[in-house]
Chains A and B, each alone.
Chain A
Amino acid sequence: MKDFAYVSAQDVATAVRAIAEPGAKFLGGGTNLVDLMRQNIERPDTVIDITRLPLDRVEELPDGGVRIGALVRNSHLAAHRVIRTRYPMLAQAILTGASGQLRNMATVGGNVLQRTRCPYFADLAARCNKREPGAGCDAIGGFNRNAAIFGASDSCVATHPSDMCVALAALDATIELESVRGVRRLPLVGFHMLPGDSPQHETAIAADELITAIELPELPVAARSRYRKVRDRASYAFALVSVAAALEVRDGVITEARLALGGVAARPWRAHAAERALMGGPATEERFRLAADAELEGAVAQSQNAFKIELAGRAITATLRQLQVEGSAA
């Protein structure tokens, strides 16, 4: 690891001024950044510790929404009463991620900006367009069992690994960003970018911006929601496929549906096609499967991950069925 300067920012103004210097990086929980520094994937000159910023609260807003400070630890967010009762899929998504120790460290902002787990990205000996634009992509034709089935390109097939973000995508969350230039808000859906021919551009954040908060809208349908993560071992593994789902059913008819998938793309994948296929239909197994198929029509497999398309279909169907039968209890 390269020697670096360490700065602890006590307020947002100092933090955004400090990040404007070249070679500076924010340090949240450090559970991703420090690993990448050890692997020499990230080599910042200055690390700005933002964990003392006063952005560590979860607040209910007058308009019925919820504002989550960017430095709220993943564990705290998952345990928060408002999240557990009004947005259970979000609490569940976080609790399926990483381990207890990591969640105690990990921050909401850091979780949104965590990097891909593509093995070639993490190995400097490999070719990777994301690390080094134009170098090539060793995952194509290599180990890509956990690569994307949506939105991949010839230059990159990596996925975004976050569980939390999948729920945030389903919940229509908003990200608040701040820099010396001011404050702006972006929808989380679309914040992460598909690789196209520039996989090095991963999100819409500018190099000098700080994530200050995530906001959830008031969303009654979310009270009946679930997160289902399918992975290679019972815990402490990234998703092969995950599903965040919310469903409102009246007299057997689906009146509202929210669906997002994880482990399938460079962004948390909001399943609009499936949502459309569900709306107004009967809350039956056939309809759930039909909706899954509608979404997966556009899926494309790499050499080792064709199973994910089948798995995603089954996981969507099973999650909706379970939601319908058992409600949101995890």
Chain B
Amino acid sequence: MTYVGQPVDRLDGTAKVTGEARYSAEYPYPNMAYAALVHSTIARGRITRIDSATARKTPGVLAVITHENAPPMKPAPKMTPMDLSTLATGTTVNYLNTDEVHWNGQPIAVVVAETLEAAREAAHLVEVEYAEFPAVLDFAAEEGNATPQKNSLISEGGAKKGDPDAALAAAPFSLDLRYTTPGHNHNAIEPHSTTAFWDKDRLILHEGSQNIAWTQGHLAVRFDVPKENIRVISPFVGGAFGGKTMVWPGTVLTVLAAKVTGRPVRLMLTREGVNRTVGGRTPSIQRVAIGAEAGGSMTALIHTSITQNGKVGGGPEQVTSQTRHLYDAANLQVQQNLVELDTIANTVMRAPGESIGSFALEATVDELAYKLGMDPIELRARNEPARNPIDGKAFAHRMLLECYEVGAKEFGWGERSPEPGSMRDGKWLIGMGVASAYHPAWQFQANVTVRLSADGTVLVRCGFHEMGMGAATAQAQIAADALGVPLGAITVEYGDTALPTGPGAGGSGQTASIAASLITACEKLRRSVFSVARKTPGSPLRGRRFADVRAKDGGLYDGSRGESYQEILRRADRASIEAQVGSDTRLGEITGQVRFMSKFLMDRRRWVKAACGAQFCEVRVDSDTGEIRISRWLGVFDVGKVINAKTAASQLRGGIVMGIGMALAEETLVDPRNGRIMNAGLAEYHVPVHADIPSIDIRYLDDPDPTMPLGLLGIGEVGIVGVAGAIANAVYHATGKRVRDLPITLDKLL
């Protein structure tokens, strides 16, 4: 392979650094109008009066849309596995079609004006009175009301093997610990932005989205138009991390505002607006209990969790997912539980579930290692399963211990003296910690077309998503290798519902999903080109067999006989030849859906597929003040075959940075008195700054998973998993203090 695996520069790099890349709030339209939202200031109740008279007088205001004058919209669709776009509902509230308030910050009016400034000023002048209702707002206080999550086709709430309670009670060594993690808010660099324009009953929408097909399907229902009437365009997304998967109120209300005013309308949420109207990561309460024998083998492993849903939506998080797969415990139980609050719906955020679940699990394993007087890597090795612990299924690929082996050597793990507080550099207490990363591998449906033109260029078309990870570059590399053409010959079109329907960017599954279809499409294309060539008089490929032909040097060759694609198409007098995988007709959609579900279920019966890794970190803790600095990081990953060495390392490194934020800084402060987020801005909601991040060393084993396309496993999320656990373990090693409540701030170490 010429390109796959190479550290190819991202194809859109120049466009981005020169500002040519256009994001959703940057599409110019003549006659553009600007929108601003008015947010509720109570958590639950009814609007008794909403007065927009003053707001309307602001010069430049075109409309103040409230529940009193908004045109009707259809309610959000009910979820069905036969149409996955029904999963796109951010919250179930029918915005501005109701006087009810369901969370503090819910949009209750939208102002449209000739300028952004006028819109925002008028939004400030809308006066609102409420009748307040009692509300459930304190997550911690709801612990007693948690109910078990039921098992569904896609997400399992719990599972049990053997008798873990009895085994725990009988174990010579045991731990039974409680962990808490706070909520987190989405804060991608690009705030959620929408530009909407109705051309009669056809909608054009520029929207930073991780799932344009879902957005299209959702809006079709809400605005009661056929899906075909809506085109969602989203070639560049300024980060998303799960926050742009669902359809949030800003999008719906921009479309509504465009309808009411008959103008193109742009809404770019303020940072506060993002925090108030886009769901975040749920807080959690977790219990991890482990029983073990003196030799380290686990006899019991129990992991339970409580997370929150909004009463108006949100879903469970697979907090206990990694615990089904990581340790060979004889008796095992996982169970996720839920509480419902009068808050905005929670939503997915990078490695939903595993990122916080692994913190609790991996910290407990570390604590057990100390209890047993055993090295934590050795303890993991002694509990490494040959088959999936919870149900005995086969692992498609599993090289976790190899990751630890490489990591321990590179990181100098052997130089660590295990005693807490035993390593010191002046006032700095030094600690080293490890934890496992784990993330399931997903694969979704992807429709792809590949067209070869007479000039030798190739156009790959698929409505997938580029949020900055280098997704398009990876697919260009795959196509270039599959067709034997130079990378420069490939153009990839994406981020547009006018293209064949692509997969969503989620579950770390996008690259594998497109790759599977793209490889098939390229194979089809080679066949078509070959059969054209074979029939063309004068072609050097006449009489050859397809099996002997290779795509290379920009053409098809059997040994040295063959010719370039240009020559083949010219000789056959063809302008282009195209191949297609999947179809966007109604029938094609249903067939695709059925094929996807059956492959998904069949695969799941046979295999456990996942990426995994070993996180190594070194921290320095100021012995006077408890300030924590991460001084070194190494992540070693088993992510199957790596497509692009450069962008893959960036993804994994980015996951670790985000994990450092989760471990040390990020926390959404929801005032339990009124459900209001009190740090809805980046000055107060801390993410790491450059000075918090050391140089991060990334290694991967690059060993293909035989069950995945090209052997690749997704890399978007596995990097964040285990990070908080590794840091907590290192902090213990440095200070002798176990902090079981994130974030680990200095006050918890004093």
Cβ of A233 under 8 Å from chain B? yes
Within the assembled complex, what's the spacing in Å between the Cα atoms of A142 and B746?
20
Q: Mark B607-640, 1 if CB is under 8 A from A, else 0.
A: 0000000000000000011110100000000000
Q: Mark A222-240, 1 if CB is under 8 A from B, else 0.
A: 0000000011111111001
A116 nearest CB across to chain B (Å): 12
Cβ of A317 under 8 Å from chain B? yes
Complex contact A234–B678 (CB within 8 A): no
Cβ of B457 under 8 Å from chain A? no
Cβ of B750 under 8 Å from chain A? yes
From A1, A142, A232, B671 is in contact (CB under 8 Å) with A142
Within the assembled complex, what's the spacing in Å between the Cα atoms of A315 and B669?
27
Which residues, 285 to 304 on A, are CB-close (under 8 Å) to B? none
By a CB distance below 8 angstroms, the chain A residues around B539 are none
Would A232 and B689 be within 8 Å (CB), given that A1-B117, A3-B121, A143-B671 are in contact? no
Would A234 and B692 be within 8 Å (CB), given that A117-B683, A119-B669 are in contact? yes
Residue of B nearest to A304 (CB): B747
Complex contact A232–B624 (CB within 8 A): no
Cβ of B745 under 8 Å from chain A? yes
From B59, B121, B124, B746, A230 is in contact (CB under 8 Å) with B746
Which of A234, A307, A311 counts the most B-chain CB atoms under 10 A from its CB? A234
Interface residue tally for chain A (C-beta within 8 Å): 31
Within the assembled complex, what's the spacing in Å between the Cα atoms of A120 and B750?
27
B191 nearest CB across to chain A (Å): 14
Complex contact A123–B678 (CB within 8 A): yes
Would A1 and B120 be within 8 Å (CB), given that A119-B679, A234-B691, A307-B750 are in contact? yes
From B120, B689, B750, A311 is in contact (CB under 8 Å) with B750
Would A230 and B117 be within 8 Å (CB), given that A119-B679, A237-B686, A311-B746 are in contact? no
Complex contact B750–A310 (CB within 8 A): yes
By a CB distance below 8 angstroms, the chain B residues around A315 are 624-625
By a CB distance below 8 angstroms, the chain A residues around B673 are 138, 141-142
From A235, A317, A318, B690 is in contact (CB under 8 Å) with A235
By a CB distance below 8 angstroms, the chain B residues around A240 are 746-747
Which of B427, B625, B669, B673 counts the most A-chain CB atoms under 10 A from its CB? B625
Cβ of A125 under 8 Å from chain B? yes
Cβ of A314 under 8 Å from chain B? yes
Cβ of B177 under 8 Å from chain A? no
Which of A2, A40, A117, A123 counts the most B-chain CB atoms under 10 A from its CB? A123
Cβ of B643 under 8 Å from chain A? no
Would A233 and B746 be within 8 Å (CB), given that A142-B673, A311-B625, A315-B625 are in contact? no
From B59, B665, B684, A233 is in contact (CB under 8 Å) with B665
From A2, A234, A317, B689 is in contact (CB under 8 Å) with A234
Within the assembled complex, what's the spacing in Å between the Cα atoms of A318 and B746?
16
Residue of A nearest to B116 (CB): A1
By a CB distance below 8 angstroms, the chain A residues around B669 are 119, 143
By a CB distance below 8 angstroms, the chain B residues around A143 are 669, 671, 678-679
Residue of A nearest to B684 (CB): A119
Complex contact A2–B691 (CB within 8 A): no
Residue of B nearest to A310 (CB): B750
Complex contact B683–A232 (CB within 8 A): no
Within the assembled complex, what's the spacing in Å between the Cα atoms of A225 and B132?
55
Would A125 and B683 be within 8 Å (CB), given that A142-B671, A234-B692 are in contact? no
Q: Mark A302-326, 1 if CB is under 8 A from B, else 0.
A: 0000010011001101100000000
Cβ of B688 under 8 Å from chain A? yes
Complex contact A311–B671 (CB within 8 A): no
B674 nearest CB across to chain A (Å): 8
Within the assembled complex, what's the spacing in Å between the Cα atoms of A314 and B692?
22
Complex contact B664–A233 (CB within 8 A): yes
Complex contact A318–B624 (CB within 8 A): yes
Which residues, 235 to 270 on B, are CB-close (under 8 Å) to A? none
By a CB distance below 8 angstroms, the chain B residues around A310 are 750
By a CB distance below 8 angstroms, the chain A residues around B745 are 232
Say whether chain A's binding surface is mostly helix, strand, loop, or mixed: loop
Would A40 and B691 be within 8 Å (CB), given that A117-B684, A237-B686, A307-B747 are in contact? no
Number of A-B residue pairs with CB-CB distance less than 8 Å in the complex they form: 78
Within the assembled complex, what's the spacing in Å between the Cα atoms of A161 and B624?
22
Which residues, 708 to 750 on B, are CB-close (under 8 Å) to A? 745-747, 750
Q: Mark A114-150, 1 if CB is under 8 A from B, else 0.
A: 0001011001011000000000001001110100000
By a CB distance below 8 angstroms, the chain B residues around A231 are 627
Which residues, 76 to 131 on B, are CB-close (under 8 Å) to A? 117, 120-121, 124
By a CB distance below 8 angstroms, the chain B residues around A142 are 671, 673, 678
Within the assembled complex, what's the spacing in Å between the Cα atoms of A100 and B41?
35
B113 nearest CB across to chain A (Å): 12
Cβ of B526 under 8 Å from chain A? no
Residue of B nearest to A307 (CB): B747
Q: Mark B359-388, 1 if CB is under 8 A from A, else 0.
A: 000000000000000000000000000000
Within the assembled complex, what's the spacing in Å between the Cα atoms of A189 and B542?
94
Cβ of B676 under 8 Å from chain A? yes
Residue of B nearest to A316 (CB): B624
Complex contact A40–B750 (CB within 8 A): no
Within the assembled complex, what's the spacing in Å between the Cα atoms of A157 and B413?
47
Within the assembled complex, what's the spacing in Å between the Cα atoms of A330 and B625?
17
Would A235 and B689 be within 8 Å (CB), given that A117-B683, A120-B678, A142-B671 are in contact? yes
Would A230 and B684 be within 8 Å (CB), given that A40-B124, A314-B750 are in contact? no
By a CB distance below 8 angstroms, the chain A residues around B626 are 311
Complex contact B691–A235 (CB within 8 A): yes
From A1, A117, A233, A317, B691 is in contact (CB under 8 Å) with A233
Complex contact A318–B686 (CB within 8 A): no
Which residues, 16 to 47 on A, are CB-close (under 8 Å) to B? 40
By a CB distance below 8 angstroms, the chain A residues around B117 are 1, 3
By a CB distance below 8 angstroms, the chain A residues around B688 are 233
Within the assembled complex, what's the spacing in Å between the Cα atoms of A3 and B745?
42
By a CB distance below 8 angstroms, the chain B residues around A307 are 747, 750
B668 nearest CB across to chain A (Å): 11
By a CB distance below 8 angstroms, the chain B residues around A314 are 624-625, 750
Within the assembled complex, what's the spacing in Å between the Cα atoms of A232 and B747?
9
Which residues, 653 to 682 on B, are CB-close (under 8 Å) to A? 664-665, 669, 671, 673, 676, 678-680
Within the assembled complex, what's the spacing in Å between the Cα atoms of A222 and B176?
54
Which residues, 121 to 158 on B, are CB-close (under 8 Å) to A? 121, 124
By a CB distance below 8 angstroms, the chain B residues around A125 are 41, 676
Complex contact A232–B690 (CB within 8 A): no
Complex contact B686–A233 (CB within 8 A): yes
Within the assembled complex, what's the spacing in Å between the Cα atoms of A119 and B680?
9
Which of B121, B624, B686 counts the most A-chain CB atoms under 10 A from its CB? B624
Residue of A nearest to B627 (CB): A230
Within the assembled complex, what's the spacing in Å between the Cα atoms of A132 and B692?
38
Complex contact B624–A317 (CB within 8 A): yes
By a CB distance below 8 angstroms, the chain B residues around A138 are 671, 673
Would A2 and B41 be within 8 Å (CB), given that A117-B683, A123-B676, A232-B665 are in contact? no
By a CB distance below 8 angstroms, the chain A residues around B625 are 230, 311, 314-315, 318
Within the assembled complex, what's the spacing in Å between the Cα atoms of A3 and B120?
11
By a CB distance below 8 angstroms, the chain A residues around B750 are 307, 310-311, 314
Complex contact B684–A2 (CB within 8 A): no
Residue of A nearest to B681 (CB): A122
Within the assembled complex, what's the spacing in Å between the Cα atoms of A311 and B745?
12
By a CB distance below 8 angstroms, the chain A residues around B124 are 40
By a CB distance below 8 angstroms, the chain A residues around B690 are 235
By a CB distance below 8 angstroms, the chain A residues around B680 are 123
Complex contact A233–B678 (CB within 8 A): no
Within the assembled complex, what's the spacing in Å between the Cα atoms of A126 and B688?
28
Which of A120, A125, A145, A231 counts the most B-chain CB atoms under 10 A from its CB? A125
Known A-B contacts: A233-B686, A240-B747, A318-B624. Give 5 more (CB < 8 A). Answer: A40-B124, A125-B41, A138-B673, A142-B678, A233-B665
A-B pairs, top 3 by smallest CB distance, nearest first, are A234-B691, A125-B41, A307-B747
Q: 8 interchain pairs (CB within 8 A)?
A: A120-B678, A126-B678, A143-B671, A230-B627, A233-B686, A235-B690, A315-B625, A317-B624
